[in-house]
A and B are shown apart, each in its own frame.
Chain A
Amino acid sequence: GENVEQHPSTLSVQEGDSAVIKCTYSDSASNYFPWYKQELGKRPQLIIDIRSNVGEKKDQRIAVTLNKTAKHFSLHITETQPEDSAVYFCAASTGNQFYFGTGTSLTVIP
């Protein structure tokens, strides 16, 4: 089955700086890669996603890049704000089933 690894597990940045979270996957058949933000005790919220036929996608301060050859994808958050503090999960999907990364706890220091 698919194996998704996520790094780092914790990340602290100063407000205004950028944050980068990286994930790797093992199954070359995976074709959909969403990123979720989860606040304590709440449901994961989709913040951005990318499909395997695209190398990069951007939505305001958030961007995701995908390298299919190397089987890795990254989340980039620019101009970070304190409200960006949360746990972020990547996932890889081959169809209707998701495989989640282990999560990154992001803290943005005001």
Chain B
Amino acid sequence: GAVVSQHPSRVICKSGTSVKIECRSLDFQATTMFWYRQFPKQSLMLMATSNEGSKATYEQGVEKDKFLINHASLTLSTLTVTSAHPEDSSFYICSAWRGASPEQYFGPGTRLTVT
């Protein structure tokens, strides 16, 4: 149990376009989902926390208008990188928390490359 999927696993887009990444909890309902960004050889940096049906809470320094997060249901959260630029290229990982225990369950990540 506690499987989280992420789609797509890899995406290459042109500068100026928008990219949507989906995060799904497949066999449980996630009270909260988290979005992280990871640069090569660095740690996971929390971007935002999203609760189903409410606005996401963004970490300091993360542009909410650039990284749009929607948590429409207890099993799906989406991250849209708007007007992507090369500096947005990174590994984006989501995680889901189901509330009954402290563990977070990570998705497999999405490698975004902006050309």
Contact = CB atoms under 8 A, between A and B. Distances in A.
B67 interface: no
Given A98-B34, A98-B46, A102-B42, 10 more contacts: A34-B102, A42-B108, A44-B93, A49-B102, A89-B44, A97-B46, A98-B104, A99-B46, A103-B41, A105-B41
A96 interface: yes
- Those 10 A-B pairs whose CB atoms lie nearest each other, nearest first: A32-B102, A43-B106, A102-B43, A100-B43, A103-B43, A43-B108, A100-B44, A96-B97, A44-B106, A96-B32
B49 interface: yes
A102 to B, nearest CB: 5
B9 to A, nearest CB: 9
Contacts of B109: 41-43
A88 to B, nearest CB: 11
A44 B107 contact: no
Interface in B89-104: 91, 93, 95, 97, 99, 102-104
A46 interface: yes
Interface of B: 31-32, 34, 41-44, 46, 49, 91, 93, 95, 97, 99, 102-104, 106-109, 111
A93 interface: yes
Contact of A93 (B41, B49, B102, B106): B102
Nearest to B102: A32
Contacts of A89: 43-44
Contacts of A41: 91, 109, 111
A103 B42 contact: yes
Nearest to B109: A43
A42 B95 CA distance: 13
Interface in A45-95: 45-46, 49, 51, 87, 89, 93, 95
Given A96-B32, A97-B46, A46 B111 contact: no
A25 to B, nearest CB: 14
Contacts of B102: 31-32, 34, 49, 51, 93, 95-96
